[in-house]
Amino acid sequence: MGQFEGKTAVVTGGSTGIGLATAKRLAAGGAHVFVTGRRAAELEKAVAAIGNATAVPGDVRVAADVDRLYERVRERGQGLDVLFANAAINPIATLEELTEEIHDAIFDINVKGTFLTVRKALPVLNDGASVILTASTAGEGGAAGMSAYGASKAAVRAYARAWASELGGRGIRVNAISPGPVNTPLWDAAFGERAGEMLEAVAAGLPRKRVADPDEIAAAVTFLASSDSSFVYGANLYVDGGLNQI
**Which residues are the active-site residues?**
149
Give, as one character, the DSSP assignment of residue 109: I
Q: Residue 144: left (phi > 0), alpha (psi -120 to 50), or beta?
A: beta
Beta-strand (E) ranges in the chain? 8-12, 32-36, 53-55, 80-85, 125-134, 173-179, 236-239
- Comparing C-alpha atoms, which of 191, 222, 234, 229 is closest to residue 27? 222
What is the C-alpha separation between 20 and 125, in angstroms, rounded? 21
Helix (H) or strand (E) holding 70: helix 63-76
What is the C-alpha separation between 33 and 51, in angstroms, rounded? 9
Write phi, then psi, for 41 (nearest 5 degrees).
Answer: -65, -45
Task: Check: CB of residue 53 under 8 Å from CB of residue 32.
Answer: yes
Max Cα-Cα span within the chain: 54
